[in-house]
């Protein structure tokens, strides 16, 4: 009785941790935002911040990129991570869009 309960607990933990792992794998595999994506076009998103149309987006200043934006969901060292402006997709750490908001 005791040992079957333990087996059950171990099995449940295994299921929970593999679910957590597959969710992480999904996040890492999420598609990257394409510059031709309608939301990307609307927000002026560029995968390379230095290519931002400065005439159209005068608020852009050199040094700003997704990696130091408050919306970037990864670490500054992650090349790509999620952003709420592009649900379910990943933006480049070196990218930029007009919703940029400097991380405090």
Question: What mask, x for binding ligand SF4 by CB under 6 A, covers residues 82 to 101?
Answer: -x-x-----x---xxx-xx-
Among 71, 78, 89, 94, binds ligand SF4 (CB under 6 A): 71
Question: What mask, x for binding ligand SF4 by CB under 6 A, covers residues 17 to 46?
Answer: ----------------------------x-
Rounded to 5 degrees, what are φ and ψ at 69? -95, 145
52 forms part of the interface with ligand SF4 (CB under 6 A): no
Q: How many CB atoms lie within 10 A of CB 39?
A: 14
- The C-alpha atoms of residue 63 and residue 59 are separated, in whole angstroms, by 12
Minimum CB separation from ligand SF4 for residue 100, in Å? 4
Q: Which residues contact 45 (CB under 8 A, 6 or more apart)?
A: 33, 35, 37, 39, 85, 86, 91, 95, 96, 97
Give residues in contact with ligand SF4 (CB under 6 A).
45, 66, 69, 71-72, 83, 85, 91, 95-97, 99-100
């Amino acid at each position: 009785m005791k040992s079957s309960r333990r087996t059950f607990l171990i099995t449940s933990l295994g299921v929970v941790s593999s679910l957590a792992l597959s969710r992480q794998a999904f996040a890492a595999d999420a598609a990257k935002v394409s510059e031709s994506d309608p939301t990307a076009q609307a927000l002026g998103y560029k995968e390379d911040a230095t290519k931002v149309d400065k005439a159209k987006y005068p608020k852009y200043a050199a040094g700003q990129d997704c990696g130091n934006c408050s919306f970037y969901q990864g670490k500054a060292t992650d090349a790509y991570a999620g952003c709420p402006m592009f649900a379910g997709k990943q933006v480049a750490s070196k990218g930029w869009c007009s919703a940029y908001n400097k991380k405090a």
